[in-house]
Amino acid sequence: MVNDICLLDLGNSRFKWRWVGRGGAAGPSHRRPYGGAGSVAELIAALRASGEGRELCVASVRDAEFEAALREHWTAVCDRAPRFLRVPEAGPLRLAYRDPSRFGVDRYLALLGARSQFRAPLIVVDAGTVVTFDALDVHGDHLGGCLFPGLRLLRESLQRGAAGLAGQGAAPVGDVLADSTAGGLAGGVQVGLAGALRAIVAEMRQRMGEAAPTVVVTGGDADVVAAALGGQCVVEPDLVFLGMEAMLALA
């Protein structure tokens, strides 16, 4: 679609994007691991293959070097610099952090997106490489949050920290009564993560002291969180994009 804006979510292990029309119509969401892109040039080629606009709006948790390369290449190809969204000092969402600049822009946008779609109070869980948990009170203000390693980080930390596990592949499905090291590794990580997810959400609910906050889940491992919570949540895979659209509407 010509004259559309590309929304790009640069995560730790993969990137997601979708094109949004100026009238508000959103195209399909795409996602790809960085290993499938290989370089910034190939990433841009993937974006350009799915849309024809020149405007790029970016939410990034990548380092400054990657962002600089993306800025340079996109400007060269499209003759327009991309816009990198940052957490504003004084924005529509009041953060509990003492230093809001230390709050991840992806978390901020997920909260904006959740607040635009669901009635507070809310617990927002973004299950990516790191699983983040954030609480919004009945007024939609941020109460605080916490972080926990995601499925891949848990598995990789075990393999790095124990010499005997370094060469073990990861079974797709594990068991706490596994008959192989790979199966036991997968089982312990999967069951352990599920238990941690339930415990953190339960503790947040208790600490909030408000009537039944809605749990909204997003991120690449959203299905893992939903299964751990027994389906007692709402899954919204495009929460960050919804937050980006909300921020752009306020600009």
CATH number at residue 198: 3.30.420.40
For residues 60 and 9, what is the distance between their CA atoms, to the nearest angstrom?
Answer: 6
Judged against a pLDDT cut of 50, whether residue 136 lies above it is answered with yes
3-state secondary structure 30-96: EEEEHHHHCCHHHHHHHHHHCCCCCEEEEEECCCHHHHHHHHHHHHHHHCCCCEECCCCCCCCCCCC
Do both 20 and 123 map to the same domain? no
Q: Does residue 112 lie within any of the structural domains?
A: no
Residues forming the active site: 106
Q: Does residue 100 lie within any of the structural domains?
A: no
> Quick one: which H or E segment has residue 133?
strand 130-136
Do both 44 and 146 map to the same domain? no
Report the pLDDT value the prediction gives residue 164, as an integer from 0 to 100: 59
Do both 36 and 144 map to the same domain? no
Q: Which of 20-29, 57-66, 70-79, 169-178 has the lowest mean pLDDT?
A: 169-178
Judged against a pLDDT cut of 50, whether residue 145 lies above it is answered with yes
Do both 28 and 125 map to the same domain? no
In tens, the pLDDT along 174-189 reads 678 887 777 888 888 8
Whole-prediction pTM? 0.90
Q: Which domain holds residue 203?
A: 119-151+183-250
Domain count, the chain: 2
What does the radius of gyration of the chain's CA atoms come to, in whole angstroms?
19
In tens, the pLDDT along 88-104 reads 988 889 999 999 989 99
